[in-house]
Amino acid sequence: MHKVFQSIILIVLLSPISARAQSDQPWSANFFLENDLFANTDLNYTNGIRFSTISPDLESFQDPDGQKYPWVERLNNLLEFVHPSLSNPDADPVHQNMVISLGQLMFTPSDSGRTTLDPDDRPYAGYLYLGLGYHARTSNTLHSTEFNFGVVGPAALARQSQDLVHRVRGLDKFQGWDNQLKNEAAFQLIFERKHKNGLINTHLLDGLQLDSITHWGASLGNVGSYLNAGAELRIGWDLPDDFGTSTLRPGGDNNTPGNLQNSDTPFRFHGFVASDARLVANNIFLDGNTLRNSHSVDRKYLVADMAIGIAGSYKKLRFSYAHIYRSREFSEQRKAQFYGSFSLSYRYTFN
């Protein structure tokens, strides 16, 4: 495992050199924003934000003389065990990409004016993290492996972030942040597998397409451990050749840069319905600090998300918005939660 992360760090440090050498290969810059103000509430999972970049196919990384970097081959060989299994690898080769992300999540109870701890509501919590990911994909299968590490607690700066947004918007500040979870180093290792067109792939009237993407995965770490599975149904014209529109969850950066000229239609648009169900073993934002005494609530073991949204693209730009329903996460929670999820992606080169 040490060699895995050593190789990933090499890619982070050397990627600008590779990018200059392969300026015709597209990268992807992504921005995710989730907030319950989209649903006119301000509680529970109240805000999430992430910036990320996805590399071109690692096979294209070469130095200025046209020679491939040795560390690229070492990394792909080291992580070959997470590649999709193929019955005919010559017909459907595996492509690999790296993902680097920076994100922040925040969680608050429902009573914004209460200064003392509410034993019947969730803890205040913030999470600031850096993510390193590796994608291995074929035309219909995507295997994502991601390692996130950061901090939970005041060092995550969730209080300062929320206070700034509320001050700009003229909203009252939450008064109970002194009760938030204590500082704790946080980590999470995530595996997720996606398969496209396994259930539905058909053409309807006037070129209208309908397809499906299924996924399953697992997470392990003090941030959260769970098993998850779900599916996405898409309908529209000229559906993109990617693996769906993910919400801001681990393993969500699944849109590879692709070919900048992959469609004769400059504008594309489709609707989607997606689901994800999780069997949860631990969740630091509900269970409290791992090795220190802190506030906690009675976590539910089964949590489900349902999303309905729209997505589109114009030339190098992709965007999506989804309205998300999340079932109750803990016993004391009065009702399920609604929030909005927005994403924006831009494909670029260095030439």
Which pLDDT belongs to residue 242?
86
C-alpha span between 134 and 220 (Å, rounded)? 16
C-alpha span between 275 and 253 (Å, rounded)? 16
Per-residue pLDDT 10s for the chain (351 aa) are: 444 444 555 555 445 444 444 556 788 899 999 998 888 888 899 999 999 999 888 876 666 566 666 777 777 777 887 888 655 555 578 888 989 999 999 999 999 999 999 999 999 999 999 999 999 988 889 999 999 999 999 999 999 999 999 999 888 999 999 999 999 999 999 999 999 877 777 878 887 999 999 999 999 999 999 999 999 999 998 888 888 876 656 545 655 445 444 555 678 889 999 999 999 999 999 999 999 999 999 999 999 999 999 999 888 899 999 999 999 999 999 999 999 999 999 988 876
Q: Which residues pair with 243 in a beta bridge?
A: none
Q: Which residues are within 8 A (CB) of 139 and not within 5 positions of it... i.e. 6 or more apart?
A: 92, 196
Q: What's the predicted TM-score (pTM) here?
A: 0.88
What secondary structure letter does DSSP report for 340? E
- The CA-CA-CA angle for residues 347, 192, 130, to 5°, reads 60
Which pLDDT belongs to residue 21?
41
**Amino acid type, 47:** N
Query: Helix, strand, or coil here: 282?
Result: strand
C-alpha span between 98 and 45 (Å, rounded)? 28
Which pLDDT belongs to residue 19?
45
Q: What share of the chain is helix, strand, coil (3-state, %, to 5)?
A: 20, 45, 35
Which pLDDT belongs to residue 348?
84
- The CA-CA-CA angle for residues 88, 90, 91, to 5°, reads 70
Q: Which residues are within 8 A (CB) of 54 and not within 5 positions of it... i.e. 6 or more apart?
A: 27, 28, 30, 97, 98, 99, 135, 253, 255, 256, 257
Closest by CA position to 140, among listed 185, 221, 200: 200
Which pLDDT belongs to residue 4?
46
Topology annotation, domain 2-348: Lipocalin (2.40.128)
Which pLDDT belongs to residue 77?
78
C-alpha span between 214 and 197 (Å, rounded)? 8
Would you tell me how many other CB atoms lie within 10 Å of the CB of residue 155?
A: 14
Which pLDDT belongs to residue 288?
97
Q: Is the dihedral of CA 8, 14, 15, 21 positive or negative?
A: negative
